[in-house]
Amino acid sequence: MGNTYTKLEQEFLEYYKQIESYAEAIKLIAWDLRTKIPKKGVKRRSETLSLFSQKVHELTTSDQMKTYIDQLRDSSNPVIRRSVELVEKEYNQSKKIPVEEYKEYVELTSQAESVWTEAREKSDFELFRPYLEKIVAFNIRFAEYWGYKEDRYDALLDNFEPGVTVKTLDQVFPKLRDDLSKLIQKVNDSSDKPNPEPILTYFPKENQEQFALKVLENMGYDFEAGRLDETVHPFAINVNHDDVRVTTRYDENDFRMAVFGTVHEGGHALYEQGLDKDLYDTPVCSAISMGIHESQSLFWENFVGRNETFWDQYYNLFLEYAPDSFKDIPKAEFYRAINEVKPSFIRIEADEMTYPLHIMIRYELEKDLINEKIEVKDLPKLWNDKMEDYLGIRPENDADGVLQDIHWSGGDFGYFPSYALGYMYGAQIRSALDQSVNIDQSIRNDDLSPIKKWLNENIHQKGSMKEPLDLLKEVTGEGLNPDHLVNYLEDKYQKIYNW
């Protein structure tokens, strides 16, 4: 049906489309930096990225943008009104950062990602440390530019999860940690544990890819508007509305990383591909928050991909691609093995139950870094101490510890809490969805489209018209409630571990 705009509103959207065009180039460069670029090309590409980012900064903070904001703030069109609200927030934030300082920061983070990759390969934090120290210093300065009410970290958190504060997290996370600790103790006390050894066998990368592609197709991922590539740290990226790319990482001795990682990133991609076409080329045609985004990826990865009914339906297909050795593994044993609860060093390889604890470790370190309670040089030891405290394991090297995630190299401070929030959001959304669409029955019918359709209509097509907690309440009928996640985990794992 589409929206009808006044002449001034149309001019504003045409102006905003310029920003989107530069942003598209930035995202394509970012995808190339993380997937295909030769090592020697990084420096020049980083400079190019910096120039494009500077142009976006200039357009976002221009006098023309301020004029549009002032003239359209009270528009009768709700899409324009919300769009102006979003660009005004970005205008106010960007205006507070000097252009040259912003340019320097973009160039720094572009180079830092390449340095992080090398440091991780060599398991040498000292290679990355000088870059991270500068990135942290920039983020502290930015938080001060933007301002905050209670905690400096709130200024950064607001970029990824509007409406959520340190106060919120410090109320929710301790309760979730306590509940998870009790469940993990039940798992540890069980005398009937799954055996993962049979599934940890050689599985050619090419075959893993073919199975992952088939699952993506069945999820409803549009390959005419996307593609699957390999990278060190998997991600999905919306280059534009008709170009939403997925990446994954393969381990030929543990297929779970690629299969579940691809489903996870596919969930992100379905969100982007499901945005309402009537909102295209407006500021509201974007995900509402990283937490809501993460709720979609974790929904597909865990509540669908690790679902027993899913493997009842897909195990025979899986065996068509798997080596012959898998054919001797009974389906029931396979299902239990892929759902083993065991503390691991790497967040993206973590099981469903211990996953949120990884996020809490990073959150606490980030918060203390930004509030200058700890220093970058002390991170490896602090990281290892928290891993031992929360998960009972201690990394023996930096690659398995402080260097495992790419986010800090890109300056994404305030991002990590979104992962745990997304998991809680996802479980709550699952409860609401299951009242309208029988998830297990859809999987059993080999038709995932009813699930995708419900998510499209209730989450994806809303874009950024509402704040995350408001959307959550609209969809589920209640505010953030971690009990949905805890109840899901308890119900599922008491059957797997027979406690």
Residues marked as catalytic: 265
Any known ligand binding at 268?
Answer: yes
Tokens of 298: 């974790």
Q: In 10 A of CB 498, how many CB atoms?
A: 11
Any known ligand binding at 294?
Answer: yes
Any known ligand binding at 366?
Answer: no
Nearest alpha carbon to residue 355 among 365, 367, 366, 343: 343
Helix axis angle, 468-476 to 290-298, nearest 10°: 40
Give the residue numbers of the binding site for Zn(2+): 264, 268, 294
Give the residue numbers of the binding site: 264, 268, 294
